[in-house]
Amino acid sequence: MKIIEPSLEFIESYKAALRKGWSPNTVRPEAAAEDLEAISKDPAAYIDSLTDLEANGAPIRLPDGSLVERLPGFIRWIWDGEFCGQVGFRWQPGTEELPAHVLGHAGYSVVPWKRRQGYAAQAFSQFLPQLEFTGLKYITVTIDDDNLASQKVAEKCDAVFHDEIVKPSSYASTKSYRYRIYL
Protein backbone atom coordinates (compact mmCIF):
# COMPACT_ATOMS: atom_id res chain seq x y z
CA MET A 1 0.00 0.00 0.00
CA LYS A 2 1.26 3.46 -0.90
CA ILE A 3 -0.01 6.94 -1.58
CA ILE A 4 0.19 8.26 -5.11
CA GLU A 5 -0.54 11.46 -6.95
CA PRO A 6 -3.88 11.25 -8.74
CA SER A 7 -3.40 10.68 -12.45
CA LEU A 8 -5.25 9.67 -15.58
CA GLU A 9 -3.38 6.36 -15.44
CA PHE A 10 -5.36 5.38 -12.31
CA ILE A 11 -8.64 7.21 -12.88
CA GLU A 12 -10.67 4.16 -13.96
CA SER A 13 -10.08 2.53 -10.58
CA TYR A 14 -11.11 5.78 -8.87
CA LYS A 15 -14.28 5.94 -10.97
CA ALA A 16 -15.09 2.33 -10.06
CA ALA A 17 -14.95 3.25 -6.35
CA LEU A 18 -17.28 6.20 -6.94
CA ARG A 19 -19.72 3.96 -8.82
CA LYS A 20 -19.70 1.48 -5.92
CA GLY A 21 -20.96 4.23 -3.62
CA TRP A 22 -17.80 5.57 -1.97
CA SER A 23 -17.64 9.37 -1.78
CA PRO A 24 -14.47 11.46 -1.57
CA ASN A 25 -16.37 13.82 0.71
CA THR A 26 -17.28 12.23 4.03
CA VAL A 27 -19.87 14.92 4.83
CA ARG A 28 -21.40 15.24 1.35
CA PRO A 29 -22.04 11.77 -0.15
CA GLU A 30 -23.51 13.39 -3.27
CA ALA A 31 -19.98 14.52 -4.14
CA ALA A 32 -19.41 11.09 -5.73
CA ALA A 33 -21.98 11.80 -8.47
CA GLU A 34 -20.60 15.32 -8.92
CA ASP A 35 -17.09 13.93 -9.35
CA LEU A 36 -18.23 11.32 -11.87
CA GLU A 37 -19.90 14.09 -13.87
CA ALA A 38 -16.77 16.28 -13.74
CA ILE A 39 -14.60 13.36 -14.84
CA SER A 40 -16.92 12.59 -17.76
CA LYS A 41 -16.68 16.21 -18.95
CA ASP A 42 -12.88 16.57 -18.70
CA PRO A 43 -10.83 13.88 -16.97
CA ALA A 44 -7.54 15.82 -17.21
CA ALA A 45 -9.07 18.96 -15.69
CA TYR A 46 -10.54 16.87 -12.88
CA ILE A 47 -7.14 15.35 -12.07
CA ASP A 48 -5.54 18.81 -12.19
CA SER A 49 -8.16 20.13 -9.75
CA LEU A 50 -6.99 17.69 -7.07
CA THR A 51 -3.80 19.69 -6.59
CA ASP A 52 -4.60 23.36 -6.13
CA LEU A 53 -1.75 24.99 -4.22
CA GLU A 54 -2.89 28.48 -5.24
CA ALA A 55 -6.60 28.02 -4.37
CA ASN A 56 -7.64 28.89 -7.92
CA GLY A 57 -10.48 26.37 -8.06
CA ALA A 58 -14.19 26.87 -7.61
CA PRO A 59 -15.66 27.60 -4.18
CA ILE A 60 -16.33 24.68 -1.84
CA ARG A 61 -19.89 23.55 -1.15
CA LEU A 62 -20.56 22.84 2.54
CA PRO A 63 -23.07 20.20 3.71
CA ASP A 64 -25.76 22.86 4.18
CA GLY A 65 -25.33 23.91 0.51
CA SER A 66 -23.52 27.19 1.22
CA LEU A 67 -20.42 28.08 -0.78
CA VAL A 68 -17.14 29.19 0.78
CA GLU A 69 -13.79 30.28 -0.57
CA ARG A 70 -11.38 27.49 -1.41
CA LEU A 71 -8.10 27.12 0.49
CA PRO A 72 -4.86 25.88 -1.07
CA GLY A 73 -4.73 22.11 -0.88
CA PHE A 74 -4.06 18.77 -2.48
CA ILE A 75 -5.20 15.16 -2.47
CA ARG A 76 -3.29 11.91 -2.71
CA TRP A 77 -4.82 8.53 -3.47
CA ILE A 78 -4.30 5.38 -1.45
CA TRP A 79 -3.24 2.59 -3.79
CA ASP A 80 -2.60 -1.14 -3.42
CA GLY A 81 -2.89 -2.04 -7.09
CA GLU A 82 -6.31 -0.41 -7.16
CA PHE A 83 -7.86 2.69 -5.64
CA CYS A 84 -8.37 2.31 -1.87
CA GLY A 85 -9.18 5.82 -0.66
CA GLN A 86 -7.63 9.22 -0.28
CA VAL A 87 -5.86 11.63 2.04
CA GLY A 88 -6.26 15.36 1.63
CA PHE A 89 -4.82 18.58 3.01
CA ARG A 90 -5.76 22.26 3.01
CA TRP A 91 -4.25 25.24 4.80
CA GLN A 92 -3.90 28.99 5.05
CA PRO A 93 -0.30 29.86 4.19
CA GLY A 94 1.61 31.42 7.06
CA THR A 95 -0.64 30.27 9.91
CA GLU A 96 -1.96 27.16 11.64
CA GLU A 97 -5.33 28.88 11.98
CA LEU A 98 -8.23 27.91 9.73
CA PRO A 99 -11.50 29.67 8.87
CA ALA A 100 -14.41 28.62 11.10
CA HIS A 101 -15.99 26.58 8.28
CA VAL A 102 -12.82 24.45 7.83
CA LEU A 103 -12.84 21.76 10.49
CA GLY A 104 -9.26 20.61 10.04
CA HIS A 105 -6.19 20.67 7.86
CA ALA A 106 -6.27 17.04 6.85
CA GLY A 107 -8.63 14.17 6.30
CA TYR A 108 -8.60 10.59 5.12
CA SER A 109 -11.10 8.09 3.86
CA VAL A 110 -10.78 4.44 2.86
CA VAL A 111 -13.31 2.67 0.64
CA PRO A 112 -15.53 0.37 2.75
CA TRP A 113 -14.28 -2.85 1.15
CA LYS A 114 -10.65 -2.03 2.10
CA ARG A 115 -11.22 -0.94 5.70
CA ARG A 116 -9.76 -2.71 8.75
CA GLN A 117 -6.47 -3.40 6.95
CA GLY A 118 -4.51 -0.50 8.44
CA TYR A 119 -4.55 1.48 5.19
CA ALA A 120 -5.68 4.78 6.70
CA ALA A 121 -2.90 4.85 9.30
CA GLN A 122 -0.26 3.75 6.78
CA ALA A 123 -1.40 6.28 4.20
CA PHE A 124 -1.65 9.15 6.68
CA SER A 125 1.82 8.34 8.06
CA GLN A 126 3.23 8.45 4.51
CA PHE A 127 1.34 11.67 3.81
CA LEU A 128 2.50 13.73 6.80
CA PRO A 129 6.12 14.22 5.61
CA GLN A 130 4.72 15.76 2.40
CA LEU A 131 3.41 18.69 4.47
CA GLU A 132 6.79 20.02 5.59
CA PHE A 133 6.88 22.57 2.75
CA THR A 134 4.00 24.47 4.41
CA GLY A 135 6.14 25.56 7.36
CA LEU A 136 3.28 24.75 9.74
CA LYS A 137 4.22 23.70 13.28
CA TYR A 138 1.18 21.47 13.57
CA ILE A 139 -1.94 20.43 11.71
CA THR A 140 -5.44 19.84 13.03
CA VAL A 141 -7.63 16.81 12.39
CA THR A 142 -11.28 16.86 13.51
CA ILE A 143 -13.03 13.55 14.11
CA ASP A 144 -16.63 12.86 15.10
CA ASP A 145 -16.93 11.73 18.71
CA ASP A 146 -18.41 8.37 17.65
CA ASN A 147 -15.79 7.59 14.96
CA LEU A 148 -13.51 5.39 17.07
CA ALA A 149 -11.73 3.89 14.06
CA SER A 150 -10.65 7.31 12.80
CA GLN A 151 -9.61 8.37 16.31
CA LYS A 152 -7.33 5.30 16.47
CA VAL A 153 -5.84 6.19 13.07
CA ALA A 154 -5.03 9.71 14.28
CA GLU A 155 -3.48 8.41 17.49
CA LYS A 156 -1.32 5.92 15.54
CA CYS A 157 0.00 8.95 13.63
CA ASP A 158 1.01 10.69 16.90
CA ALA A 159 -2.04 12.94 17.04
CA VAL A 160 -2.62 14.54 20.42
CA PHE A 161 -6.12 15.27 21.68
CA HIS A 162 -6.60 19.04 21.72
CA ASP A 163 -10.24 19.78 22.53
CA GLU A 164 -13.88 18.93 22.05
CA ILE A 165 -15.93 21.10 19.73
CA VAL A 166 -19.42 21.41 18.37
CA LYS A 167 -19.24 21.72 14.60
CA PRO A 168 -20.75 24.84 13.00
CA SER A 169 -24.41 24.63 11.97
CA SER A 170 -23.32 24.16 8.34
CA TYR A 171 -22.11 20.72 9.54
CA ALA A 172 -25.25 19.93 11.59
CA SER A 173 -23.75 21.10 14.92
CA THR A 174 -22.49 17.65 15.93
CA LYS A 175 -19.91 16.98 18.63
CA SER A 176 -16.36 16.23 17.51
CA TYR A 177 -12.84 15.94 18.84
CA ARG A 178 -9.98 18.02 17.55
CA TYR A 179 -6.49 16.55 17.47
CA ARG A 180 -3.15 18.13 16.67
CA ILE A 181 -0.27 16.48 14.88
CA TYR A 182 3.03 18.27 15.34
CA LEU A 183 5.13 18.30 12.20
- Give the CA distances from residue 91 to residues 32, 53, 85, in Å, rounded to whole numbers and listed in that order: 23, 9, 21
Nearest Cα neighbor of 28 from 55, 64, 59 is 64
Pairing assessment for the beta strands 2-4 and 67-68 based on DSSP bridges: unpaired
The rounded average pLDDT for each run of 10 residues, N- to C-terminus, in the chain (183 residues) is 98 98 86 95 97 94 86 98 97 94 93 96 96 96 93 95 85 85 95
Here the CATH number for the domain that contains residue 108 is 3.40.630.30
Supply the pLDDT for residue 28.
Answer: 79
Cβ proximity of 92 and 55 under 8 Å: no
Q: How many domains does the structure of the chain reveal?
A: 1
Cβ proximity of 108 and 153 under 8 Å: yes
Structure letter (DSSP) for residue 48: H
Q: At what angle do helices 11-19 and 31-41 cross, to 10 degrees?
A: 140
Give the model confidence (pLDDT) of 10-22 as tens digits.
Answer: 999 999 999 999 9
Domain carrying residue 66: 2-182
